[in-house]
Amino acid sequence: MTAEEKEKFYDEGIAPVLAQLGRKCEDNGLSFFAAVEYDPEQQGFGRTSTLTKDCSAVMEMLNWVAKSGGNLDAFVMAAARYTTENNLPHSSIVLSQYIDPEPAKRK
């Protein structure tokens, strides 16, 4: 199967099923994340996610990784933004380069 055929198969046969599963999860208060790679050479993949407001950081990070398309800088910036927006404490050496490691002490 060519990359184009794989992408078409994903778009027509897989993505709709994943969307249906995502809706079922969402309707029942469950976070859902799925990623399918159809073209490794071009980083071609699709993702489906429905995350609850109180989902874990792990689910958020999975979503950021997929959204960033393998760009580490984009992933780290998403983590920094999430940590700052939610005023979360952290002990990350990497995030400390971008944000205050103790946001609760900020005035």
Q: Dump pLDDT digits (tens) for 36-55.
A: 999 888 888 899 999 999 99
Mean pLDDT of 48-70: 89
Is residue 98 pLDDT above 90, yes or no? no
Quote the CA–CA distance of 107 and 104 in Å, as a whole number.
Answer: 8
Q: Report the range of poorest mean pLDDT among 24-28, 58-62, 64-68, 93-97.
A: 93-97
What is the predicted pLDDT for the residue at 10?
A: 94
pTM (two decimals): 0.72
Residue 75 has pLDDT above 70, yes or no: yes
Q: How many helices (H) and strands (E) does the chain have?
A: 5, 2
Residue bearing tokens 């960033």: 68
Residue 105 confidence (pLDDT): 52
